Chains A and B, each alone.
Chain A
């Protein structure tokens, strides 16, 4: 509960801050529109040659792209800006101020930033998804809606945990932005169904950097491919990754020596 209140408070501050620069909204809209259009053009070129890719038809591939875009927007709005700020704090020694606050430090560093304009991507992703869903024409059901939302949330938690683990490395190696860049480019693999990748890459995209769980699994839920077993497995894996991330966070914290003191 406290977590939600803190998140609300910090995002309100961020939003108020960003509202001073409203032109940035149009800039973001333009940039997000460009990447969306590029992605759709590529899908269009692929569709001009083939009916299915890895067993997914046009509408279903669009659904994957929608989930991919939506998740990317979520990371860009909350996860990435917070992690950048955190890494900056470690570098500059400002993390001291966070650690002395009477709240859980992992929670604090995860909710301080809110890049409100990036929500544009979330909205665009929802629109793409809506188009895809109407094209798929699947019978709506409670199970479907539940499975989709549940896998979406779990995918978000997993991505957050992985990126947190990578950021935690900042305690040892101050310069980790290349690692973040690398993770973000690996995420790009998620715009296609992971089933098309060769084994070594698919396994990496499933267990090492869970793009498969974050994008393909929610899309599977949406297209009625998700089995209850896979849903349960996703849940177990999410809890495991989140737990591991927290362990590593505490472990890393021990190595933080501060710079201001």
Chain B
């Protein structure tokens, strides 16, 4: 990994330094998350309501249509949206709006003085964040399990493959959110663009509806977008609906989106940073 540190000397950094940096950034995230416990619980409810609505609607539809639609039974829809909640916890990342705030408040100026690229500290922060996020998720996951009695047919290898798909789902989403955030260097009129992006993600990621339930045209569009690798793919793996070869391909595509996205981030960053004028101290 190249250190594209923009302002400091790119001196020799050992692997240990990298790990230390991630651990520190990650610990910060854990502390922050544990500080506002009530707020976190409310946030969980806020996160959970969305899939519960989808789950109920699609289970109801499946039940009225003789037990299944699009290859999902009502209990499999329950499984899909319960895994959804875990995937959602994991692919939570820095929103692109954050960049606007960073630039406006002059935070970025301070971050640029550090000897590492800001994307690295962000990554460390959000990786650490996964620990409390998973802890907060556990009781909710168990509760949903008892309430909706899902059907999950994962074999052992799929259970083992799931964490990999899950991690890369996060990496894909993290990279593209960062890329989108860089737009803030050029303009402040970002709301329309970001809303459009989130709408596309909602429709073509499997967040709203499993892609197989969507019409054929939507599935073909989704094939050209990174979104399904952040929701649909990891969910399907743990649901036990992905064959070994499909998993291999899927994982390669995830890696491809991460590498491509990261290269794009670095390329755009080089131009973006030239436009930046420090505000504040």
The interface of chain A, by Cβ under 8 A from chain B, is 27, 30-31, 34-35, 37-38, 41-42, 45-46, 48-50, 52-54, 173, 175, 178-179, 181-182, 185-186, 188-189, 191-192, 196-198, 200-201
Contacts and interface: CB of A to CB of B under 8 A. Distances in A.
B186 interface: no
A185 B56 contact: no
Interface in B173-220: 191-192, 195-196, 199, 202-203, 208-209, 213-215
Given A45-B209, A50-B61, A27 B56 contact: no
A189 B64 CA distance: 20
B191 A41 contact: no
Contact of A192 (B50, B57, B147, B214): B57
Most buried by A among B46, B191, B209: B46
B214 A188 contact: no
Given A48-B215, A178-B43, A188-B49, A31 B192 contact: yes
A185 B69 CA distance: 27
A188 B50 contact: yes
Given A27-B192, A45-B215, A185-B46, A38 B199 contact: yes
B53 interface: yes
Nearest to B41: A178
A182 B45 contact: yes
B9 interface: no
Contacts of A46: 57, 61
Contacts of B191: 27, 31
Q: Is the interface of A mostly helix, strand, loop or mixed?
A: helix
A181 B46 contact: yes
A186 B45 CA distance: 9
B202 to A, nearest CB: 6
B65 interface: yes
A35 B199 CA distance: 8
6 contacts: A31-B191, A49-B65, A53-B57, A53-B60, A175-B39, A192-B57
A189 B49 contact: yes
A27 B214 CA distance: 28
Interface string B121-148: 0000000000000000000000000010
Nearest to A34: B199
B119 interface: no
B130 to A, nearest CB: 20
Given A27-B192, A188-B53, A196-B57, A52 B64 contact: yes
A80 to B, nearest CB: 15
A196 B56 CA distance: 7
B242 interface: no
Contacts of A41: 203
A46 B196 CA distance: 22
B161 interface: no
Given A34-B196, A54-B60, A181-B42, 9 more contacts: A30-B195, A34-B195, A35-B199, A38-B203, A45-B214, A178-B46, A182-B45, A189-B52, A196-B56
Contacts of B65: 49-50
Going nearest first, the 5 A-B pairs with the smallest beta carbon separation are A178-B42, A178-B39, A182-B46, A185-B46, A185-B49
Most buried by A among B56, B69, B147: B56
Contacts of B64: 50, 52-53
A188 to B, nearest CB: 6
B198 to A, nearest CB: 9
Most buried by A among B43, B61, B202: B61
Contacts of B195: 30-31, 34
Contacts of B61: 46, 49-50, 53
Given A45-B214, A196-B57, A38 B202 contact: yes
Nearest to A202: B56
A215 to B, nearest CB: 13
